[in-house]
């Protein structure tokens, strides 16, 4: 059915796929802002935005009121507002870098998704990942590119030529360095396990999911059960990396007005937030792939088995969609967790952030690595 | 006063990891997440007005349909922000309420000045002005926000009267004249 697509030249297929993923990711990130508002409202005992509805949709029964109460049209109205409202550039900023930094924020945010697989289908008995670039450096590329996101924050703070944005960006850089180490160390045990002796060495996220889909007790176990401490350290570092509460030092609106984006408004401001939500989505995706079994619905129950039960194994499209739905469901649950934590915890003080990063998480990550290195050596012989 | 030293226990290991507290906090917010909402959908749902609420000041009729205000102007004098302006008027002798002698010819309350203090209601010897339940006053111009006499009576309506003091007075006068 889709054979004609695979006969297209690569230079058409690749941009088309990339565009398709961005066209899904960008609105998804925007929708996260509405989810954030609704979840915040529900946790605080409010209904949240539930009024906006365009008159030409209002006559639709059942569906229109549901969408209205979920604030879907508010999201569109907000997005439209960001596009059309005046976008002032303050007189005291460095104009070139001031305008460059929100653009720079989007680039790593939309690039990391290329290396994240979000589904799989069976092709001639072999599981093929659905992703933009199945490269062997996998996770390393995600780490490398997503860390570039902080440069836009630093650039924004510096170009704003104003003290609060500057303080925010200084905090962002310090925080990134502090938590990057623990994050990288925490995932090493996973790759020690995945790269069993005799196999080919890989950092690919697809292979991590594959090793959670093996038969047997340890083979089908998700890594969050097998390596809870790794998962915990990675989770905490992920919160810090994505500047989410309780680690949103660069923003901390209580003491820094708005942090790095104090001087920004309108569309440039919204770009920063779409980028932040993109980071959250990709970060959640990486967590799901590493520790929560990716597109496998349950531990010890790989996607291929379920597709077989449902009789979808022979239809690549149906199985791919099933995998993507399961994966996105897990990511959505994880993003809910991000927001749930945000509206539960107060912000850590700056010195506490540094203390947790360097004096608690880093030693813990190293001890965890040593323990699992020994344990895996014993198990895998 | 005696000084009571409060013992400060060192934090346990579990407390120092923050984790049990975080889990407890998440549980609390989850309960609020699924729990009933505390807010009111305002224009559709209206709050219950408690008794003795001080809303917009209004003028009232007595149960016989006589306007109770006799334009003594006490409320005008007592009004702290000077929101009330009364033009007194005579009651003509062919009126059934002629024995009351005076009624306001014009009565204006500027709702942009009114502070809803209720002193006018408190000072009124005729129980003619009441702060009732209406709490929402809107207008598109300053002139619209000044309630004139007709509007004040529309808002006030008729309230029960325990005394009928002017009727009693008239009856007493007629009784004494008959002797």
- Residue B63: CB partners within 8 Å, gap ≥ 6? B158, B160, B161
If you ran DSSP here, which 8-state letter would residue A221 be given?
-
Question: From A360, which residue of chain B is nearest by alpha-carbon distance?
Answer: B17
pLDDT digits (tens, 9 = 90+) for B111-162: 999 999 999 999 999 889 999 888 888 889 999 999 999 999 988 888 888 8
* Beta carbons within 10 angstroms of residue A229's beta carbon: 16
Q: What is the DSSP letter of A170?
A: H
A42–B28 C-beta distance less than 8 A: no
> Which residues in chain A touch residue B26, judged by CB atoms under 8 angstroms apart?
340-341, 344
Tens of pLDDT along chain A (381 residues) come to 566 777 777 788 788 888 888 888 878 887 888 888 888 899 988 888 888 888 888 788 888 888 888 888 888 888 888 888 888 888 888 888 888 888 888 888 888 888 888 877 777 767 777 777 777 787 888 888 888 888 888 888 888 888 888 888 888 888 888 888 888 888 888 888 887 776 777 788 887 887 777 777 777 788 887 888 888 999 988 888 888 878 877 777 777 777 777 888 888 888 888 888 888 888 888 888 888 887 887 777 777 777 777 777 677 777 778 888 888 888 889 899 988 998 888 888 888 888 888 988 899 999 999 998 898 888 876
CB-based contact B25 A43, cutoff 8 Å = no
Residues of chain A neighbouring B38 (CB-CB closer than 8 A): 45-46
CB contact under 8 A, B33 and A43: yes
**The pLDDT value given to residue A30:** 78
Q: How far is CA A276 from CA A79, A114, A279, in A?
A: 16, 17, 5
Of B26, B39, B41, nearest to A344 by CB-CB distance is B26
Q: How far A264 CA sits from the closest chain B CA (Å)?
A: 32
pLDDT on residue B113: 92
Min Cα separation B36/chain A (Å): 7
Apex A238 CA angle, A233 and A242, nearest 5: 160
Among the partner residues B29, B39, B41, nearest to A43 by beta-carbon distance: B29
Rounded Cα–Cα distance for residues B38 and A69 (Å):
16
Residue from the list A45, A47, A345 with its beta carbon closest to the beta carbon of B32: A45
Could you give the C-alpha distances from B89 to A262, B14, B171, in angstroms and in order? 63, 81, 24
Quote the crossing angle between the two packed helices B19-34 and A10-43, to the nearest 10°: 80
B23 contacts in chain A (CB < 8 Å): none
Classify A130 as helix, strand or coil: coil
Is the pLDDT assigned to residue B179 strictly greater than 70? no
Interface test with B, best of A36, A247, A344, A347 (most B CBs within 10 A): A344
Q: Which residues of A touch B28 (CB under 8 A)?
A: 344
**Domains of chain B, each with CATH number or no CATH:** 57-157 (3.30.70.3270)
Whether A180 contacts A278, CB under 8 Å: no
Average pLDDT over all residues of chain A: 83
Token duo for residue B80: 């702290």
Interface of chain A toward chain B, CB-CB under 8 angstroms: 39, 42-47, 340-341, 343-345
Chain A residues in contact with B32 by the CB 8 A cut-off are: 42-45
* Smallest Cα distance from A43 to chain B, Å: 4
From first CA to last CA, the distance across chain A in angstroms is: 47
A6-45: per-residue pLDDT in tens?
A: 777 778 878 888 888 888 887 888 788 888 888 889 998 8
Distance CA A47, CA A51 (A): 10
Across the interface, whether the CB atoms of B35 and A45 are under 8 A apart is answered: yes
Q: Domain boundaries in chain A?
A: 88-380
Q: Which one-letter DSSP state was computed for residue A251?
A: T
Judge: B26–A340 Cβ closer than 8 Å, yes or no: yes
């Amino acid at each position: 059915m889709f054979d004609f697509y695979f006969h297209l030249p690569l230079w058409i297929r690749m941009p088309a796929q990339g565009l398709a993923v961005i066209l899904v990711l960008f609105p998804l990130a925007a929708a996260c802002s509405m989810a954030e508002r609704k979840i915040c409202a529900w946790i605080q005992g409010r209904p949240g935005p539930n009024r906006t509805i365009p008159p030409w949709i209002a006559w639709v029964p059942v569906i229109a009121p549901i969408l209205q109460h979920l604030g879907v049209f508010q999201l569109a109205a907000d997005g439209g507002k960001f596009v059309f409202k005046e976008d002032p550039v303050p007189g005291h900023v460095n104009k070139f870098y001031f305008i460059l930094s929100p653009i720079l924020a989007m680039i790593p945010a939309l690039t990391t998704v290329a290396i994240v697989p979000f589904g799989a289908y069976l092709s001639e008995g072999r599981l093929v990942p659905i992703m933009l670039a199945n490269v062997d450096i996998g996770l390393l590329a995600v780490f490398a590119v997503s860390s570039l996101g902080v440069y836009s924050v630093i650039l924004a703070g510096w170009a704003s030529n104003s003290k609060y944005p500057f303080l925010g960006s200084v905090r962002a850089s310090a925080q990134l360095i502090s938590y990057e180490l623990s994050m990288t160390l925490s995932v090493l045990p996973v790759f020690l396990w995945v790269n069993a002796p005799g196999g080919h060495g890989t950092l690919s996220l697809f292979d991590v999911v594959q090793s959670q889909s093996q038969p047997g007790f340890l083979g089908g176990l998700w890594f969050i059960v097998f390596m809870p401490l790794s998962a915990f350290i990675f989770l905490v570092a992920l919160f810090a990396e994505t500047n989410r509460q309780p680690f949103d030092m660069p923003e901390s609106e209580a003491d820094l007005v708005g942090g790095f984006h104090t001087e920004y408004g309108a569309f440039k401001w919204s770009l920063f937030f779409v980028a932040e939500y993109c980071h959250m989505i990709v970060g959640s995706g990486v967590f799901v792939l590493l520790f929560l079994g990716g597109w496998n619905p349950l531990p010890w129950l790989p996607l291929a088995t379920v597709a077989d039960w449902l009789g979808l194994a022979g239809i690549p499209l149906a199985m791919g969609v099933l995998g993507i739905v399961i994966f996105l469901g897990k990511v959505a649950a994880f993003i809910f967790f991000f927001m749930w934590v945000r509206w539960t915890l107060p912000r850590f003080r700056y010195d506490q952030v540094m203390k947790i990063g360097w004096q608690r998480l880093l030693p813990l990550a190293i001890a965890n690595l040593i323990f699992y290195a020994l344990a895996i050596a014993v198990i895998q012989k | 006063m005696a000084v009571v030293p409060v013992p400060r226990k060192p934090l346990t290991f579990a407390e120092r990891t923050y984790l049990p507290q975080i889990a407890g906090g998440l549980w609390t917010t989850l309960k609020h997440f699924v729990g009933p909402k505390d807010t009111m959908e305002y224009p559709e749902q209206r709050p219950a007005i408690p008794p003795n609420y001080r809303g917009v000041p209004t003028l009232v009729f007595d149960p016989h349909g006589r306007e109770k205000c006799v334009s003594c102007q006490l409320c005008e004098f007592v009004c702290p922000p000077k929101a009330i302006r009364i033009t007194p008027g005579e009651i003509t002798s062919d009126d059934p309420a002629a024995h009351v002698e005076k009624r306001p010819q014009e009565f204006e309350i500027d709702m942009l000045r009114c502070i809803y203090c209720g002193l006018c209601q408190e000072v009124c010897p005729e129980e003619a002005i009441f702060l009732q339940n209406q709490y929402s006053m809107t207008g598109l111009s300053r002139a619209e926000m000044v309630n004139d006499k007709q509007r004040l009576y529309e808002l006030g309506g008729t309230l029960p009267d325990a005394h009928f003091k002017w009727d009693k007075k008239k009856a007493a006068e007629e009784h004494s004249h008959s002797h």
